[in-house]
C-alpha cells in the first residue's frame, strides 16, 4: 500500500464530507510520514463530526459509530492491530458513513456532488489495492 | 513522581470498575496487567477511552456538558501522540476530569437513588485523594 496516496485520498473524502476543513496539521503529519498520528487525528475529527451531526444520524447509530472509532483508537494505540488493518477498518466506517449521508444529506441529493463523492470513494478503494 | 504511583492507578481502576466504565472482564484484566507491569501510559490511555465511551453511551449527562468532557478527554488523548509527554501531568488532568464527572453524577438521580453505590464511590475517591 502506498500510504501517502491512501491518506491523501482519505483526506479528500473527508473534505468532501465536510468532516475536515483545515487540513494543515494533517498534511504536515502526512509529509512527515507520521501515519499513526494522521490516523489518530482523522479518527478524532470523525468523532467530533458524528457527535455534532445528530440531525444526520439516529442517536443509536451515532453511538455505534463512536464506539467503533474508540475501539479502533484503543487497538491502534495498544498495538493490538496493524496500521494497515486500522486503515481498512477506518475506511469501512468512513465509507459507510458517506453512504448514509447519501440518504440523509441535502448536499448529496445533488447528482453532481454525489458523483464527486463517489469518485473520491472509488479513489480510496483503488489506492488500497 | 507521585502520579506514577502504582496505588493511584489501582485506585483509578477500582473507581472505573465501580462506575461500570470498563466494558468487559478481559479489559479489566488487561488494565491490571498494564498496571502490574508499570505500563501506566497504556493503562491511562485505556481508562481515558473508557470514560469517553461511557460518556458517549450515557443519557445522564446532558449534551452540552458531555461535549465539554469529550473535548477535555480528546485533548488528553492527543497529548499521547506528542513528545515530550508527561504522564504525571496527564494522569493529574485525567483525575480532575474523572472527579468532576463523579461530582456531576452525585448531583444526579443516578447516584442519589443509589446510596450504597455513592458510599462506595465516595470511599474510593477519598482513598485516591489521600494518595495524591
- Determine contact: B87 vs chain A, CB below 8 A: no
How many angstroms separate the Cα of A31 from the Cα of each of A12, A14, A46? 15, 18, 21
The whole-number average pLDDT for the span B71-75 is 92
| pLDDT, position A1 | 67
* CB contacts < 8 A (A, B): 35
| pLDDT, position A55 | 57
Q: Residue B14, SS3?
A: helix
| pLDDT, position A59 | 73
| pLDDT, position A12 | 93
Domain count for chain A: 1
* Chain A contact probe: residue of B37, B56, B77 with most A CBs at under 10 A: B56
Q: Residue B110, SS3?
A: helix
* pTM, two decimal places: 0.85
Q: What share of chain A is helix, strand, coil (3-state, %, to 5)?
A: 80, 0, 20
Interface of B with A in 54-73 (CB under 8 A): 56-57, 67, 70
| pLDDT, position A67 | 92
Rounded to two decimals, the ipTM of the complex is 0.79
DSSP code at position A106: S
Q: Which of A40, A44, A63 sits opposite B56 (nearest CB)?
A: A63
Residues of the domain holding B49: 2-131
A67: left (phi over 0), alpha (psi -120 to 50) or beta: alpha
* Distance in angstroms (rounded) separating the CA atoms of residues B125 and B132: 11
Most confident region among A118-127, B39-48, B120-129 by mean pLDDT: B39-48
**Chain B closest-CA separation from residue A125 CA (Å):** 28
- Determine contact: A28 vs chain B, CB below 8 A: no
| pLDDT, position B82 | 84
| pLDDT, position B110 | 67
| pLDDT, position A104 | 76
| pLDDT, position A35 | 95
Residues of chain A with Cβ-Cβ distance to B56 below 8 Å are: 63, 66-67, 70
Query: Per-block average pLDDT, block size 10, for chain A (129 residues)?
Result: 90 92 91 94 92 70 89 94 94 90 78 88 86
| pLDDT, position B118 | 80
Asked whether the predicted pLDDT for residue B2 surpasses 60, the reply is no
Whether residue B61 contacts residue A28, with contact meaning beta carbons closer than 8 Å, is answered with no
Residues of chain A with Cβ-Cβ distance to B53 below 8 Å are: 66-67, 70
* Chain A contact probe: residue of B40, B51, B52 with most A CBs at under 10 A: B52
How many angstroms separate the Cα of A106 from the Cα of each of A17, A45, B58? 12, 21, 30
Residues of the domain holding A55: 3-128
Average pLDDT, chain B: 87
Asked whether the predicted pLDDT for residue B113 surpasses 80, the reply is no
- Determine contact: A81 vs chain B, CB below 8 A: no
Domain count for chain B: 1
Predicted confidence band of residue B117 (pLDDT cuts 50, 70, 90): confident
Name which of B12, B16, B74 is nearest A47 in CA terms. B74
- Determine contact: A25 vs chain B, CB below 8 A: no
Yes or no, beta carbons of A77 and B80 under 8 Å apart = yes
Amino acid at each position: 500500500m502506498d500510504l501517502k496516496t491512501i491518506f491523501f485520498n482519505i483526506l479528500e473524502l473527508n473534505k468532501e464530507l465536510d468532516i475536515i476543513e483545515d487540513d494543515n496539521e494533517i498534511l504536515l503529519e502526512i509529509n512527515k510520514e507520521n501515519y499513526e498520528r494522521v490516523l489518530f487525528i482523522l479518527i478524532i475529527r470523525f468523532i467530533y463530526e458524528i457527535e455534532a451531526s445528530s440531525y444526520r444520524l439516529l442517536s443509536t447509530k451515532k453511538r455505534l459509530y463512536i464506539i467503533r472509532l474508540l475501539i479502533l483508537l484503543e487497538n491502534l494505540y495498544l498495538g493490538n492491530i496493524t496500521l494497515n488493518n486500522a486503515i481498512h477498518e477506518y475506511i469501512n466506517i468512513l465509507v459507510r458513513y458517506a453512504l448514509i449521508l447519501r440518504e440523509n444529506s441535502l448536499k448529496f441529493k445533488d447528482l453532481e456532488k454525489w458523483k464527486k463523492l463517489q469518485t473520491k470513494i472509488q479513489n480510496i478503494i483503488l489506492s488500497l489495492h | 513522581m507521585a502520579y506514577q504511583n502504582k496505588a493511584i492507578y489501582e485506585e483509578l481502576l477500582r473507581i472505573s470498575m465501580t462506575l461500570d466504565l470498563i466494558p468487559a472482564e478481559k479489559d479489566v484484566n488487561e488494565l491490571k496487567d498494564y498496571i502490574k507491569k508499570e505500563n501506566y501510559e497504556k493503562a491511562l490511555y485505556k481508562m481515558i477511552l473508557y470514560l469517553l465511551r461511557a460518556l458517549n453511551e450515557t443519557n445522564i449527562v446532558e449534551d452540552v456538558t458531555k461535549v465539554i468532557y469529550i473535548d477535555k478527554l480528546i485533548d488528553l488523548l492527543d497529548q499521547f501522540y506528542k513528545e515530550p509527554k508527561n504522564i504525571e501531568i496527564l494522569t493529574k488532568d485525567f483525575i480532575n476530569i474523572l472527579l468532576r464527572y463523579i461530582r456531576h453524577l452525585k448531583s444526579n438521580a443516578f447516584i442519589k437513588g443509589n446510596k450504597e453505590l455513592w458510599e462506595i464511590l465516595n470511599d474510593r475517591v477519598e482513598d485516591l485523594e489521600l494518595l495524591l
